[in-house]
Amino acid sequence: MNKQILLSPPDMSGQELEYIKETFRDNWIAPVGPNIDAFEEELADYVGVEYSVAVSSGTAGLHLALIAAGVGAGDVVFCQSFTFAASVNPILYQKAIPVLIDSEETSWNMSAELLEEALKKEKVKPKAVIVTHIYGQIAELKRIKQLCENYEVILIEDACESLGSVYHSQHTGTIGDIGVYSFNGNKIITTSGGGMVVTNNVFFAEKIRYLSTQAKSKAPFYLHEEIGYNYRLSNVLAGIGRGQLLSLDKKIEKRREIYSRYSDAFEEANIYLMPEECPGTKVNRWLSVILLPVGRPVQLMNFMKDRLIESRLTWNPMHRQPFLKNYSFYKTNKVAVSDRLFLTGLCLPSGSSLSQTEQEKVINTIKEFLIEENDL
């Protein structure tokens, strides 16, 4: 039986099991323990921040970041439309109001021009801006950060897909006021499920840690002065994260090699991939995305599925989601950039365990499809 080629499966280094064995040996099967403390320290050191808090998911991290930023009922939060729903849902958890912003062509992430337009036009100043680094691509952080500082708005980086991506010598997630990473099963490193919140602000760090442990006040009994959440990562999963972190640089290089092979293979056929890196940046290439004429991505996805190759359409923009249809959306063109990316983009197998033989099968399958469809 042929083995299925997956989009972005977990890639174990072998070190994870040693941490897990140690956890079982010492009976640290709990939401506290030495692995959590060490994982927080090791990741903070890797990305270069003062504080980090291990949580149960990237979504939980975004939720806590919004609470720490003071977002509550009726407040406004700006976020981008071309993203996963988990970037926006925490805004609604807080009964706040999302304002959706279209992407720019050069990064596929939030347009700084449209952010500035929204800041000028909206009657209520936002409490926070959430910028998402889609597929590891890096948003234009310099201008976005400057706008947030000018308007005194807290900048939250949804870096769930961009761990290891670097913007002018700084890791994504560390440039705004608060950053959030995800360790979901398909991310560049995984703890099965989990996430990390990072910041250089001691108030935000202490608030997020406090809230993630059911907001237990310091007292010799259970005292809760505000609503808390059961959002801590387990000690067992933190052990997996420690093992994964040891091989993160290798995983990034493997994914970058995979992107380069796709780029080289399709260049002669005038088939476009996601944007090249901007000067001064290094993208982790979490997923490689191919761009095709409208309608072709769905057809190619089904064509590859029949040949046991997993692929995925790009994000269906948030302004197209029924539960967000009544919220403001800022765009420049008649056809939004995010709409066009959804209609033309397809994510290709990009996992760091993808072999060259497997990638060649993916490339040849795509070329076979395009020849059959007379696109080559």
| Number of CB atoms found within 10 A of residue 171's CB | 22
3-state SS assignment for residue 181: strand
200, two tokens = 């250089």
Residue type, 186: N
Question: Which is catalytic among the residues 145, 187, 251, 361?
Answer: 187
CA distance 163 to 40: 14
157-160, long-range: CB < 8 A, 24+ apart: 157/130, 157/131, 157/132, 157/133, 158/58, 158/62, 158/83, 158/87, 158/130, 158/131, 158/132, 158/133, 159/133, 160/58, 160/86, 160/87, 160/132, 160/184, 160/187, 160/195
Respond yes or no: is residue 187 known to be catalytic. yes
Relative to beta strand 178-182, strand 154-158 is parallel
Q: Tokens 């809230």 appear where?
A: 211
DSSP string, 212-267: HBTTB-SSSS--BSS---B-BPPHHHHHHHHHHHTTHHHHHHHHHHHHHHHHHHHH
CA distance 249 to 23: 25
The CA-atom distances, in angstroms, between 262 and each of 39, 45, 126, 155, 256 are 34, 33, 40, 34, 10
CA distance 363 to 71: 46
Active site residues per annotation: 187
